[in-house]
A and B are shown apart, each in its own frame.
Chain A
Amino acid sequence: MTTVLEALNCALLAAMDADENVILLGEDILDPYGGAFKVTRGCSEAHPDRVILTPISEAGLAGIASGMALRGLRPVLEIMFGDFTTLLADQIINHMTKFRWMYNDSVDLPLVIRTPMGGRRGYGPTHSQSLEKLYLGVPGLTVLAPVSLAILPAGRDGPGPLLQQAILGTNSPVLFIENKLQYLQTVSGLSDLSEFDVRVEFSADDTAKLYPIYRLTIKGAPEPKITLAAYGAMADLTREAVIRLAYEKEIFSELVLPTRLAPFRLEGILDSVGHTGALLTVEEGTRTLGWGAEVLARVSEIPGIGLKRSARIAAQDLPVPASPVLEASVLPQVDTIIEQVQKMV
């Protein structure tokens, strides 16, 4: 059994083996420590000259990584906590994502910024946020979030391949959203998902089939009555909710899990909603102007889609508290999802 953490770690090592232009930068990423969450463990031992231990200079590092990328390297930058991506905002919005376009497509900038978001570990207001929504809709930025699934044959999908492909196969900036709790999740294959029928689809624009969209329904169940859409670590909680809804409440749902959040696409979700007529989005970031808001807005803009009921689940518009009981009341839980679905069907 591989965890998401191990999968990502293997992907970093494999990417470094595959291309000598891959170079890692980040705070405290050298062995034996291997990064605050150990994702880079073993990398500096394997490639001492290509793992750069850095000062605590997030904005400057984003610039340095961009400069390296503009001149032919494939840097991968670790930001220790997703909360600190705010320090990179100017570099992301006004620099790295602008260059290719404003220079009339005359440059490449292959750069992956990896960072863990998310709470549920009691780290408090500045180390627990899910800020990815701030970066959705930045033109030129691809935002990816792995889910703890690996379904396709020959190891073609899963958190590791998603990261490896972002590092080796993308020529523009990628923000790769990891999650602190998800690191510990085991990556489930088909054989681990005996309760589910699983489909893997790709957006029409994703011709190279890089960014899977997973669709899960309960095996042998009646037609689902509601579509649940989630990404990243919330995929795990929502999957648990889908099972409990089926076995405890006899409510059947379809779970749709995109792995690419930007550029924004609705495939999978739209098709499912066409059948169920009801949509619930689930995310861990704050509710206002979030991912779910955009999903629902776009779905409702489609004529004849037949969306009868819709709702969003997200964190309350509050900072994430440190106390476990307070934190649990601010962030969405499995029970929150179950209760909301019961209200909707």
Chain B
Amino acid sequence: MSIELDCYRSMLRIRRFEETVLDEFKRGVFSGTTHTSMGQEANAVGVISQLNADDVIVTNHRCHGHYLAYGGDMRALFAEMMGRSTGVCGGRGGSQHIHWRNLYSNGVQGGIAPIAVGMALAEKRKGNSTMVVVFIGDGTFGQGVLYEAFNMASLWSAPVLFVVEHNGIAQTTPTSQALAGSIPARFAAFDIESVELDTSDVIPISTAASNLIASVRDCRRPAALILNTARLGPHSKGDDTRSVETLQALREQRDPISILGNRLEPGDADAITGEVVTEVKLAFEQALADPYPQTPMEAAQ
């Protein structure tokens, strides 16, 4: 039971954080862009909760959930997105370019995949049991460099787990209009074992992740976890082209927070919700009071 409560809290922190981001964007508190992971929280929490402290996480434009599930400081991420000096990267990176401990993100699709493989090969050479998890979206399967990464990961037995967050859409483009064949077949072509799940329930995701992580760690071989999931919010901010009915149905059927919340004692869920709301509010207010970085920046001449 306490695992379920932990997962619930962890997912709710991400949800509340991102709801705040979208709300406050309208007020001009944040600048630039953002990509929220509402609906996909179970992937972040399910996978990352199964990692060891030394493991490496490589992520993409939709990285807030991964960062928060990893234990990243909420105020620092708010501050990063507000361009404050206390941000995760001092305001240089913004929403999709963050590094904290062993988590690295970048906002260009696909290019991080070979980097994750290189990291896994470096860890393997060091002779330790560290492994790398890299998150990629379904739309990213359009990038050629991904297949170079799969090929070399398999060829050189890199301890890397490719986690595919298959939400069926890339910005506005449905996967069916961008992807021929199937994602499992693409891994199979490189002799990379894959497990596919179609659920937004964090518990089976955790179980599958745990098994695959153990196998990657022990066999020092790559594997893939394909998570069919649902993006409940816009791609970025208010840019959803899907119909109200489609979204309504997804929210009713695929919301990981209500899926797990329905199994909890109402009192437990309410207590956690109260604590999380307070925590997020405080982190937001603290970040808002944080200073901007010193300017101007100057290049060495």
Contact indicator A99/B104 (Cβ below 8 Å): yes
Q: Does A62 touch B at the CB level, under 8 Å?
A: yes
How far apart sit A90 and B148, CA to CA, in the bound complex (Å)? 14
Contacts of A69 in B (CB 8 A): 118
Residues 58-94 of A at the B interface (beta carbon under 8 Å) = 59-73, 75, 90-91, 94
Q: Which residue of A lies closest to B91 (CB)?
A: A104
Min CB distance, A30 to chain B, in Å? 15
Contact indicator B115/A70 (Cβ below 8 Å): yes
Q: Does B16 touch A at the CB level, under 8 Å?
A: no
Contacts of A23 in B (CB 8 A): 125
Min CB distance, A87 to chain B, in Å? 9
Contact string, A44-68, partner B, CB cutoff 8 A, digits 1/0?
0000000010110101111111111
Contact indicator B114/A63 (Cβ below 8 Å): yes
Contact string, B137-154, partner A, CB cutoff 8 A, digits 1/0?
000000011001101100
Q: Does A125 touch B at the CB level, under 8 Å?
A: no
Contact indicator A63/B151 (Cβ below 8 Å): no
**B interface, by DSSP: helix, strand, loop or mixed?**
helix
How far apart sit A23 and B123, CA to CA, in the bound complex (Å)? 14
Number of interface residues, chain A, beta carbon within 8 A: 36
Q: Does B111 touch A at the CB level, under 8 Å?
A: yes
Contact indicator A57/B151 (Cβ below 8 Å): yes
Residues 107-149 of B at the A interface (beta carbon under 8 Å) = 108, 111-123, 125-126, 144-145, 148-149
Across the interface, B92 reaches (CB within 8 A) one of A54, A68, A95, A102, namely A102
Count chain B CB atoms within 10 A of each CB in A60, A68, A139, A263 and give the residue with the most: A60
Q: Does B251 touch A at the CB level, under 8 Å?
A: no
Contacts of B119 in A (CB 8 A): 67-68, 70-71
Min CB distance, A199 to chain B, in Å? 23
Q: Which residue of A lies closest to B125 (CB)?
A: A73
Contact indicator B144/A68 (Cβ below 8 Å): no
Contacts of B152 in A (CB 8 A): 54-55, 57, 60-61, 64
Contact string, A137-172, partner B, CB cutoff 8 A, digits 1/0?
001000000000000000000000000000000000
Min CB distance, A342 to chain B, in Å? 35
Chain B contacts to A: CB under 8 angstroms? 56, 89-90, 92-93, 97-99, 104, 106, 108, 111-123, 125-126, 144-145, 148-149, 151-152, 155-156, 299-300
Chain A contacts to B: CB under 8 angstroms? 23, 52, 54-55, 57, 59-73, 75, 90-91, 94-95, 98-99, 101-104, 106-107, 139, 205, 263
